[in-house]
Amino acid sequence: MPRLPLLLAVSCAGSAVLLLAGRQLLLLRPPLTANAGSRSLERSWRLDPDPGRRREAALLLAGRHNQRDGGDPQAERRLLKSQGWGRDPLAALVLKREALLAARQGEAELAESRWQLLLRRFPGDPASADALYALGRTQPALREQLLARFPAHPAALAAALELGEAGALHLARWGPRWPGAAGVLRQRCAPGQRAMNAAERDQLAGALAQLGDTAAALRCLGDASASPATSLALARALLQDPQQEAAAEARLLELARRAPASGEALEAVRLLGEGRSPESLAAIAQLPPALRGSAPAQARLARESPEPGPTLAVLRRWPADPASWELQWQQARRAALAGEWSQTALLLDEPSLDGLLPPPLEGRRRFWQGLAHWQLGERGRAEAIWRELLDALPGGYYGWRAAVRLGRGNVELDPLKAPPLVATAWHPLGQDDPALERLWRLDQPLEAWEHWRLGQEERVGGDPLEQIHEGRLRRAVGDNWLGLGRLEQASLRLPAGRCPWTRVLERELHSPDFISELNAAGREAAVPATLLAAVAKQESRFSTSVRSPVGAVGLLQLMPATAAELLGRPLDTAELEQPALNARLGARYLRRMLQRWRGNPLLAVASYNAGPNAVAGWISPRLNSEPELWVESIPFPETRLYVKKVMGNLWSFQAPRPPACGEPALSPG
């Protein structure tokens, strides 16, 4: 008997140790992600001893049911039942999903009770914005709370849109690109509306300028003085129209002289520096002294000299300024096209820019640096430069050209040998916000996007890492147009030496969409699906509703007349916006171009953009002997860039080529 207390104590201690060890083992398991198989998730949902993990599995499974055609409300309801427990923010998400399911099935009372419960238990959670929106249909005061507490949330933007002109200023600040917002902004500025003060008119004009509607912006502004931000937005919009270039440059000059110490003034000088007209050069001469002595202004002046001295002076004084990077390229390109390879090498070998250029610009510099030394007979040095390029930046157009020059591969145009398009696996977002990262991990892109949007004013620019996050989130919720646009911006702003993030960008910029439609269209027309994806990414950024200024429509931006000829009957715009049909017709046209040019991809891709008749006039011996120089000599700047982008897309779509970071293949996302 004396031993019994000791045995009981040992037994209890052993049980406690086992429980703690078991708990630690549970915590050490890898987290559930969108890469998990459905069977594995089913087991976790039913059998996992951790209730939090069961809830995460339920949400992942519910998301998959919701993504299927038409969804499966009953399956979702079964998965989410009894998962709204506790104070974890995931409980708020469950309540929101249950309310939406009830509303979809016409169960208004159940939906309202779930919204009220959500608002009572989680008043500060982003999901409560949806509750305020839903309950605000009958309680206007709740809509006012929504606009004040969650101004950038999609629910708030939808509520502002429903307010009509009364919500115009909210939309101008927080979401001018929200669907339907443009009409409300124009309506608020229309004659006969209630009066606005100068600040309100400026805000509305700035938002309309962001949308590219300069006429409406100027009408809205009236005789009020535009703020520097609005003046800059107006000038940017005017620059999109070649007929308005002089007006844009005059506005930029006026802005620089009126507010020379502002950040907008320096950006105005950058835009003037990018100009090609004599007027832009004359405007530089009229700038205030401090701005006339800035890098963009001096780069514009140096561009006028055929001698390398002024260019080298700018590069050495402002090596970290984007104006220097563009100056180096433009002057080196001009020298290369003239066959002045010693000057090309001198400009590109300039060491002051080493380690400063963003990845795409560094890839361009290294390729042409190698080609310059190749032309000068320094073959070993050229090949060493190209090998370094392929290690650091193997994707894109210049990775392709370096690989071809070194005999390390080429694009595949044989449809029987070319790889099909495949979906990209889930990867972490790489955000510092644990709540956002968790929503992303659980395949809740809409909630992740709404969470990220809180407190974000819609604006262009920003930190490149934030642009990467925004681009990925936008793509996840179906906004490929702005999503890929943000990722492209990030690639041109990412500082040198951030190789793991360069990996992320290479993967995300070449993650295809509409995979089944493009694969099917490629098989039917005997064209590589990767080529179709390469064209679609450049034409529409995988956006089916995009229309060009000249009337091209859909995924592969087909003109209605061309599409009718390919299909053999007339068709309307709505049909052309269908991705499967658009992909089929685009594939047929690409096959026609490849046949016309005997499989030459450069000519076929250039013809897709500029038309085969124009391309026929550009053919020269350079096409075969120096294809890179042939591309650079294309007289249409748009087509020149288009060919490089599409061919770089094709090279990257056909095989994953992450840069070698000199570290394990782990990345921030």
Q: What is the dihedral of CA 114, 115, 121, 122, to 10 degrees?
A: 130
Counts for the chain of helices (H) and strands (E), in that order: 40, 0
Q: Which two tokens stand for residue 187?
A: 């309506």
Supply 141's token pair. Answer: 């005061």
657 contacts: CB under 8 Å, gap ≥ 6: 394, 395, 399, 506, 651
Are residues 309 and 275 in contact, defined by beta-carbon separation less than 8 angstroms? no
CA dist 253 and 268 (Å) reads: 7
Residue 558 forms beta bridges with which residues? Answer: 553
- How far apart are alpha carbons 241 and 248 in whole angstroms? 9
Q: How far apart are CA 276 and CA 239, in angstroms?
A: 12
Cβ pair 300, 596 in contact under 8 A: no
Query: CA dist 39 to 43, 67, 313, Å?
Result: 6, 17, 64
SS3 category, 547: strand
553: phi then psi, degrees, rounded to nearest 5: -130, 140
Of 345, 359, 355, the closest CA to residue 398 belongs to: 359
DSSP single-letter state for residue 425: P
User: At a CB cut-off of 8 Å and minimum separation 6, what does 503 contact?
Assistant: 658, 659, 661, 665, 667
The DSSP output letter for 553 is B
Closest to 488 measured CA to CA, from 425, 553, 537, 523: 537
Residues 56, 40 contacting (CB under 8 angstroms): no
Nearest to 483 by CA among 468, 505, 464: 468
SS3 (DSSP) at 661: coil
- Catalytic annotation, pick one of 539, 575, 626, 628: 539
Of 573, 406, 543, give the one whose Cα is nearest residue 475.
543
Q: How far apart are CA 476 and CA 471, in angstroms?
A: 9
Is the CA virtual torsion 453, 458, 460, 462 positive or negative?
negative
Amino acid at 624: N
659 residue type, one letter: P
Q: Which of 164, 223, 176 is nearest to 203 (CA)?
A: 176
Beta-ladder partners of 547: 553
- The answer to whether 109 is a known catalytic residue is no
The DSSP bridge partners found for residue 553 are 547, 558
Residue pair 178/171 in contact by the 8 Å Cβ criterion:
yes
Taking CA atoms, 206 is separated from 193, 214, 440, 529, 613, in Å, by: 18, 9, 33, 41, 41
- What is the Cα–Cα distance from 509 to 512, expressed in whole angstroms? 8
Q: Report the alpha-carbon distance of residue 19 to residue 288 in Å, rounded.
A: 74
Of residues 93, 11, 111, 17, the one with CA closest to residue 55: 93
Helix (H, G, I), strand (E, B) or coil at 495: coil
Tell me the catalytic residues.
539
